[in-house]
Chain A
Amino acid sequence: MEPARRAEFVPHGMGDTFAGLLVGPVLLGMALVILFVVPDARVPEANPPMVQRSSLSTAPLRAALTDPPVASLGHRCNECHIIIQPRDGRPEAINYHRNIVLRHGLNNNCYNCHDRENRERLVQHSGATIGYDEQALLCAQCHGRVYRDWTRGAHGKTVGAWNPRDPRYRRFVCTECHDPHAPMLDGIAPLPGPHTLRMGKQTGSAHEGLAEKRNPLFHWSEHGEEAEAHGGETEGGHD
C-alpha cells in the first residue's frame, strides 16, 4: 500500500475503476428500491367515533308552564279541580297525576307549593299566591342561595346573548331544567371520549402509580381508583 497516493483518494487501480462503474447501476437499483421496496408512509386510520348534530340539541331540558298553566290535552287545571278537592296534599293522594314522581326531599306535600283554592296559582309560605311565571320566587323560599346565584347569572343557563341588554339574552327559569317535583337532574350518557391520532389505548388517570401518594382521599377506599370506577358504574338514579 502506498499511503501517499492512496491517502488522497486518487483512483489508480482496477478496483477504483470498477467502483466508478458501479455507481450508476447502484443508483438505478436505489431508484427501484425506493419505488417498490420502501413501505408507504400512510397513517393508520383512526376511525374516531362520530357524533351527529341531531344529538347536539340546545333546547331546554323541559318546557316550563306558563301563566295560566295548561295541563295535559290543553285543559286548564281548575276544570277538574273545581270538582276534585283532595283533603290533604300527601303525595300518595296523587291519582290523576301518575306521571308525577315526587322526590323533593322534605318538601313532600302538594299544598306546600300549589294553592289549595286555585290550582292555577302557586302559594308562598306567607299565604300569598303567585302565577306560574313567577315560580322562581316560590323556589327561592327554600333555595335562597341558588335563587341569589340565579338572579346574578351564576346559577342556571343563560343563552342567546352575553350582554344582559341584548334582546336575545334569555335566562332559563328553574323549571326549564328542573322537574319541580323531583328537581335533582338524572344522569345522562356521556358522548364519546377523545380518540386522537396515535393515542393508543388509554385507561384511567395519568399516573395511577402516583395517585396513591397524591390523592388525599385515596386511602379512604380500599382499592383506590379502580374501586371507585366500578362503584360508579353500578350506581344510578341516586339522590
Chain B
Amino acid sequence: MREYLRFLVRCFRLSFVGDWRYYTWMLVLTCIALLGLNAYCKQLVSGLATTGMTDQVSWGLYIANFTYLVGMAAAAVMLVIPAYVYRNEDLHEVVIFGELLAVAVIIMCLLFVTVDLGSPERFIHLFLRFNFPLSMLTWDVIVLNGYLLINLHITGYLIYSAYRKREPNKRLFLVPFVLVAIVWAISIHTVTAFLYSGLGGRPFWNHAIIAPRFIASAFAAGPAFIVLTLQVIGRFTTHHVPVNALRLLRQVIIVAMTINVFLLISEMFTEFYTGADHLLSTHYLYFGLGEHRALVPWIWSAVGINTTALVLLYLPQRNRGLWLLNTACVMLIVGIWIEKGMGLIVPAFIPTPLGEVVEYLPTLNEVLVGLGIWAFGLLLYTIMVRITVPVLKGDLTVDTLHPTEVARMATA
C-alpha cells in the first residue's frame, strides 16, 4: 500500500517534468482548461441562460459532445478485440493507449453531463432515489461509471504490475475484465443511443436505427482518433507503434464507416420517400425550414467530408506513407463530430413538438466550457501517456530512476 502511494506520488511529479514541447503543449491545454473553468463558474452563477439553450432546444453543445465522446470511449474496444480475442501482436503493443483513451474520454463524458445539469449541487439525489431501471439516464450512469472503473482497473493493473516488475496475473485480473470491457463498451453506446431513440415525442430520434448508427459512426471516429494518437505517441516517445496496427485500424474504420453510410442512406430513404412527420426535423437539417437554415451548411460539409474521407480510405495506399490515412482520419473525426453532434442532437428539437421553430447557436461561454473540457481531457490523457510510456519501458520502476529524476539529482 505504501509502495502504491509512493508510485502515485512519483507519477504526479513526473507529470510536471518534460522538455519544451511537453511544457508548451501542457501549458496551452491548461490555459484552455482554465478558460473553461472560468466559463463554467459564470454559468453556475447566472444559470444555463449563459448557454444558447432554450426551452425549445433544451439540449445543445454539451449533450452533443457527450454523445460523440461516448462513442469515442466505446471505440477503444476496437483495439481490445483484435488484441485479446484474435491475439493480434501488433495491436497488443498499443492496446493500453486505447484503454487509457477510454478512461480520459469517459471522464470528459461525465464532465459534459455535469456541466449540462441545472442543479449540479443536487447531484447526490442520484444516489438517494435512483429511477432504475425505468430511466435510461440511470442506465447511462451505471454503464459509464462501470466502464470507467473497468478501464481504470485494466490500465492501472498493467501499469502498476510493470512498475513493480511483476508479471500480471492475466487469467485472474486481466482477461475476465477485458472480456467484460468488450461487451460493456458496446453497451455504453447502445444505452446512450436508447436515451434518444426511446422518446416517442421526438420522431427524429424515435427509430431503431439510431443505436446501430451510433455504434457504426463511433467505430469509425474512435479508431480514427486512435490512429492519430498512436502516431503522436510513436513520434514523441520511445514506445514502439507498429505500422501494421495502424493498417488494421484502417480496415476497421473502412468497414464501420461504410456501414454508417449505408445506415444513413437507409434512414434518409425512409424519411424522404415516406414524407411523414419525421420529415420536419430532417428537412430542417438538410434543407432548412423557411428562413431557418442554420444547420444546412454544417450537415452538407459533414456529408462532403465524410464521403471524401471514405473515398480516401478506399484508395490503395501501398507506398504513400500514412498521410492519406491521416488526412482521412482527421476528416472523419471532424465530419462525424458534426454529423453526430449538430446533426443528431440539435435537429430533434427543431421544430418543437408544437411546431415552433427556434434555432440554436452555442454562445461563447458555452463553447469555452466545451473547449475547457476537451483540453482537460487531453491534459489527462497526456499525463497518463507520459507516465505509462516510461513505466512500460522499464525506465520508471520500483527500484530504478527515470532519466528525469536522475537529471534532477545531478543538478541538485
Contact = CB atoms under 8 A, between A and B. Distances in A.
B20 interface: yes
B290 A208 contact: yes
Interface stretch (B51-59, B142-150, B308-316, B339-347): B51-59
Interface stretch (B26-34, B69-77, B99-107): B26-34
Given A197-B54, A199-B54, A202-B356, A10 B19 contact: yes
A161 interface: no
B404 interface: yes
Interface in A1-26: 3-13, 15-16, 18-20, 22-23, 26
A20 B17 CA distance: 9
A7 B56 contact: no
A209 interface: yes
Given A26-B31, A41-B363, A197-B54, 7 more contacts: A5-B403, A9-B237, A15-B20, A26-B27, A30-B31, A43-B50, A207-B357
A206 B46 contact: no
A12 to B, nearest CB: 7
A8 B238 contact: yes
B183 interface: no
A82 B309 CA distance: 98
A225 to B, nearest CB: 11
Nearest to A35: B38
B35 A38 contact: yes
Interface of A: 3-13, 15-16, 18-20, 22-23, 26-27, 30, 33-34, 38-43, 196-200, 202, 204-210
B283 A210 contact: yes
Interface in B333-356: 351, 355-356
Contact of A43 (B31, B46, B407): B46
A7 B395 CA distance: 13
Which of B20, B22, B236 gathers most chain A CB within 10 Å?
A: B20
Which of B19, B357, B363 has the most A CB atoms < 10 Å from its CB?
B19
A184 B150 CA distance: 72
A121 to B, nearest CB: 51
A202 B407 CA distance: 66
Contacts of B42: 40-41
Contacts of A33: 35
A5 B393 CA distance: 13
A27 B35 CA distance: 11
B265 interface: no
Contacts of A11: 17-20, 404, 407
A206 B356 CA distance: 5
A6 B46 CA distance: 46
B390 interface: yes
B266 interface: no
A207 B275 CA distance: 14
Contacts of A18: 20
Contacts of A22: 23, 27
Contacts of B154: none
Interface string B263-283: 000000000000000011001
A64 B203 CA distance: 50
Contacts of A205: 355
B365 to A, nearest CB: 4
B364 A39 contact: yes
A38 B31 CA distance: 13
B296 to A, nearest CB: 13
A10 B364 contact: no
A197 B19 contact: no
B39 A41 contact: yes
A16 B56 contact: no
B24 interface: yes
A43 B49 contact: yes
29 contacts: A8-B390, A9-B386, A11-B17, A11-B19, A19-B20, A19-B23, A22-B23, A22-B27, A23-B23, A26-B31, A27-B27, A30-B30, A30-B35, A41-B363, A41-B365, A42-B46, A43-B46, A196-B55, A196-B56, A196-B358, A197-B54, A197-B55, A198-B54, A200-B359, A205-B355, A206-B280, A206-B289, A208-B290, A210-B280
Nearest to B350: A206
Contacts of A6: 19
A12 B19 contact: yes
